[in-house]
Each structure stands twice: as C-alpha cells, then as structure tokens.
Amino acid sequence: MTIRRAGRDDVPAVLALLDGATEWLVARGRTDQWGTAAHSTSPRRVEQITSFADDGGLWVGETDGRVVGALAVGAALDYVPPATEPELYVRLLVTDRLSAGQDLGGILLEYARRLAREDGARMLRVDCFAGGDGALVRYYEKQGFTRDAEFAVPRVNDVDWLGQVLVQRL
C-alpha cells in the first residue's frame, strides 16, 4: 500500500470507504455505531471529510491505484476531552472491507505514529465507538493503545453515542 496526502478529489473515495464500512456493519446488525444511512449522502459528513482534506490532515492508502484506506490526523475533535501534552489525534481511520485481513488499519496507524513523531508529539490519541460488543476498542488495544477517557455524544431522538478515547505514548 502506498500512502499519500489526500486532496478534495479524494473525498468521494473516502466517503465510499465509509459507506462500505456502514454497509458491512448494517449487514451484521450493528447499526448503533453509524446508523444505516450512507455517509456520502450526509452534508455534515461530506463537509467534515472535505475539511480534513482542506486542512492537510487527510491521507489515503492506495493499492493498484485504488483507495483502500483513509487516515485523518490533526487536533482532537470538539467532543473529546483535551490533551494534557503535545499530541497528534487520529480523527478518522477507515479501510476497504474487501481488503480485510491485510492490516491496512495497522499500516495507516503506523504512518500516524511517524507523523506524530515528526511533529514532536509525545502521544497519539484516537476515539472510537465503545458500544456494541466493544470490538473496536479491543482493535485499538491490539494496536498498542490503552483506554483513557470515556464520553457520550448526545443524539436527537436517540440514545447517546458511546465513545472511548485511547492513547499511545510515543
């Protein structure tokens, strides 16, 4: 996999990865993480991914000219407790479900560690969905992260979205 900085032209490919991940979750009855709607049809999500590209923090991984993963790094998102030391925050990590088992997420996280070190950050943080069976939290723990703060994002007419911040010292 080749990793490169992404631009606005890559936003549709990143949204397609998110749509594919949502379809995969829905097919397994796991609608509590991202719901059932496509990310590519959400103006808020399109704006978010576009802003990641505009601020220079969006990266894509390609195999044979096809985008198979995306990573966005930068400052922590508003709903996350602030860091107490210099950090780089993983704002998005998504990989192509058709490429499962190739450790694309692990490769992208290693790239994030490299970016963090180059930036002088002493830690890498990420947040993820903490509901369901906790599989996503366990994934990040297997990637070397440890649990930090728990949080909840209120949703209109729905239960709160449960989140977990994880940290890795560099």
Residue spans per domain, the chain: 2-121
Predicted local distance difference test score (pLDDT) of residue 108? 98
Predicted local distance difference test score (pLDDT) of residue 90? 98
Q: How far is CA 49 from CA 19, 135, 169, in A?
A: 13, 24, 27
Statement: residue 161 has pLDDT above 90: no
Token look-up 């729905």 returns 158
Predicted local distance difference test score (pLDDT) of residue 152? 86
Number of neighbours of residue 40 by Cβ within 10 angstroms: 16
Predicted local distance difference test score (pLDDT) of residue 24? 92
The CATH number corresponding to 2-121 among 3.40.630.30, 3.30.70.600, 3.40.50.2300, 3.90.1300.10 equals 3.40.630.30
Picking from 49, 33, 23, the residue whose alpha carbon sits closest to that of residue 128 is 33
Predicted local distance difference test score (pLDDT) of residue 30? 87
| Strand residues in the chain grouped as ranges (E) | 2-5, 58-63, 66-74, 87-95, 123-129, 146-153, 161-169
> How confident is the model over 116-153, as pLDDT tens digits?
999 999 999 999 999 888 999 999 999 999 999 998 88
> How confident is the model over 54-112, as pLDDT tens digits?
999 999 999 999 999 999 999 998 888 889 899 999 999 999 998 888 999 999 999 99
> How confident is the model over 49-61, as pLDDT tens digits?
999 999 999 999 9
Statement: residue 155 has pLDDT above 90: no
Statement: residue 159 has pLDDT above 80: no
Predicted local distance difference test score (pLDDT) of residue 29? 87
Please spell the DSSP secondary structure of 76-100, one letter per residue. Answer: PPTTSPPPSS-EEEEEEEEE-GGGT
